[in-house]
Amino acid sequence: MIDDEKYFTLSHSVNDSYFSSPTKSKTPEEVSHNFKSKFEPKLMLWIAISKYGVSKSYFRPSGQAINQNIYLNKCIKKRLIPFINANHSDNNYLFWPDKASAHYAKKVVNFLNEKKINFVPKYRNPTNVPQCRPIEDFFADLTQIVYANGWKAENIPQLRRRVQNCIKKLDLNVVKKTVQSAYKRLRKCGQSGPMAVVH
């Protein structure tokens, strides 16, 4: 079972648009007076995945990072624990958190231990190996579906609805196979190094 966060922008674009004109007087007014924000508004999605599918999503608007309290209360308590209870009651799972500092804050670790959640301790969690984390593939697939055919959102609420609907369209069999590939990827990484893990 793996969790992580992903940012979505309105148009999936990271570059500004620039225009050139030989003379200022010949530049159309709609171009010369068209002001754009340097950075698009963003929506952050937190989610966990396992061989049984996906947890409930948690969204936060741009500029509102996930700190330890948000992560513990909104992600772990409200979403991850119910997901574990519903799908992993046999205790046959291992939770592999993202290595963000909030995910290993003392109060988070204490809670996971108190609830007897099987999780990867920080000292055993590999650093900078996104190719070994199947959730990166999950987010890549989701991003493709969200922005298919050049789709763009007009605002954050519309973007959120779109992401939620696209999560429902993901093939759960593909999600299951993706999650189960983690063991193979880690073994390959351990044997031949991170660059050996190619998708």
DSSP letter string, 140-165? HHHHHHHTGGG---SSHHHHHHHHHH
Predicted pLDDT of residue 183: 74
Mean pLDDT rounded to a whole number for the chain: 84
Mean pLDDT over 48-55 rounds to: 93
CA dihedral 169, 130, 58, 180 (to 10 degrees): 50
Query: Where does residue 125 rank: exposed (0-12), middle (13-18), buried (19+ CB within 10 A)?
Result: middle
Predicted pLDDT of residue 155: 95
Euclidean distance between CA atoms 159 and 176, whole angstroms: 26
Euclidean distance between CA atoms 142 and 54, whole angstroms: 12
Triad 124, 182, 58: Cα angle to 5°: 85
Identify the residue whose tokens are 């992903």.
Answer: 6
Q: How confident is the model at residue 24 (pLDDT cuts 50, 70, 90)?
A: low
Predicted pLDDT of residue 37: 54
Q: How confident is the model at residue 33 (pLDDT cuts 50, 70, 90)?
A: low
Predicted pLDDT of residue 63: 75
Q: pLDDT exceeding 70 applies to what percent of the chain? A: 81
**Residue 72 CB neighbours (<10 A):** 22
CATH of domain 2-13+40-196: 3.30.420.10
Euclidean distance between CA atoms 137 and 160, whole angstroms: 20
Mean pLDDT over 56-71 rounds to: 89
Please give the model's pTM, rounded to 2 decimal places. Answer: 0.81
Euclidean distance between CA atoms 152 and 16, whole angstroms: 15
Listed by start position, the domains of the chain span: 2-13+40-196
Mean pLDDT over 107-128 rounds to: 93
Nearest to 175 by CA among 140, 127, 129: 140
Identify the residue whose tokens are 């055993």.
Answer: 124
The listed range with the strongest mean pLDDT (22-26, 128-132, 142-146) is 142-146
Q: How confident is the model at residue 195 (pLDDT cuts 50, 70, 90)?
A: low
In the structure encoding, which two tokens stand for residue 24, read together? 């200022």
pLDDT tens, residue by residue, 93-117:
999 999 999 999 999 999 999 999 9
Specify which residues 197 forms β-bridges with: none
96 secondary structure, DSSP code: B
